[in-house]
A and B are shown apart, each in its own frame.
Chain A
Amino acid sequence: SQQGEEDPQALSIQEGENATMNCSYKTSINNLQWYRQNSGRGLVHLILIRSNEREKHSGRLRVTLDTSKKSSSLLITASRAADTASYFCATDVRETSYDKVIFGPGTSLSVIP
């Protein structure tokens, strides 16, 4: 089962434009993370935002979190062809002895040069 749902499923933009991806989740969380996956590769961690934070920046990435709406967004500014990848949000669910991380289905981003 997947806790998060990304929206849109696929996004195609021109190089230089901004890309916005959204993630909604179902249960209360402690943290939300975004990961990127290039074709045929493993996932790479991008950024983490805690439940008591509303916005976080890292380079060209901006993440927002609205716990009242159980949603998060990832904004990539001034996109580049190298940003072409799938992007996944991941939320943690407290288990007995550890925090299980659950990934959403992802948004496939294509940046056209």
Chain B
Amino acid sequence: GAGVSQSPRYKVAKRGQDVALRCDPISGHVSLFWYQQALGQGPEFLTYFQNEAQLDKSGLPSDRFFAERPEGSVSTLKIQRTQQEDSAVYLCASSLFVGRGTDTQYFGPGTRLTVL
């Protein structure tokens, strides 16, 4: 299908390992968002891209978190030296336009990260 895809779907990491999570947005979508969702909670904003430009990274919890979207399509969220508190589902969403409040965000299925 032509939806948002994320890989891997599940990732188990040992504490201290680095991980990379991939998001393939819907083709042509300008905006891309990363969210972190803890169990039983709503998605918490991490970062926002408009094409290749990272316009907002205020939600990234620490400098261990890094996101990029170098060509304005695929995005990667990297977490260095993972900690147990990083365990969560990481959701990626894309929208067609430049981040307006009326835009529909299309979500991927998420990557469930478990840090042991």
* Interface residues, chain A, with chain B CB atoms under 8 Å away: 2, 4, 29-31, 33, 40-45, 48, 50, 88, 92, 94-95, 97-106, 108
A48 near B104: Cβ-Cβ < 8 Å: yes
The residues of B with any CB-CB pair to A shorter than 8 Å are 4, 31, 33, 35, 40-45, 48, 50, 55-56, 91, 93, 98-110
Bound form: Cα–Cα A50–B102 in Å = 8
Cross-chain contact B42 with A98 (CB below 8 angstroms): no
> Which chain A residue lies CB-closest to B53?
A97
Pairwise interchain contact B55-A100, C-beta atoms closer than 8 A = no
Chain B residues, CB < 8 A from A92: 101
B interface majority secondary structure: loop
Tell me what chain A mostly uses at the interface: helix, strand, loop, or mixed. strand
Note all chain B residues with C-beta closer than 8 A to A50.
Answer: 102
- Is B107 in contact with A99, judged by CB distance below 8 angstroms? no
Contact B105 A101 (CB under 8 A): yes
Having A42-B110, A101-B101, one finds 13 other A-B pairs with CB under 8 Å, namely A2-B44, A31-B101, A42-B93, A42-B108, A42-B109, A43-B93, A43-B107, A50-B102, A88-B42, A98-B100, A101-B45, A103-B42, A105-B42
Nearest Cβ in chain A — how far from B114, in angstroms? 14
Q: How far is the CB of A54 from chain B (nearest CB, A)?
A: 17
- Contact of B108 with A99 in the complex, beta carbons under 8 Å: no
Contact: B107 with A2, CB < 8 Å?
no
Alpha-carbon gap, A99 to B103, bound state (A): 9
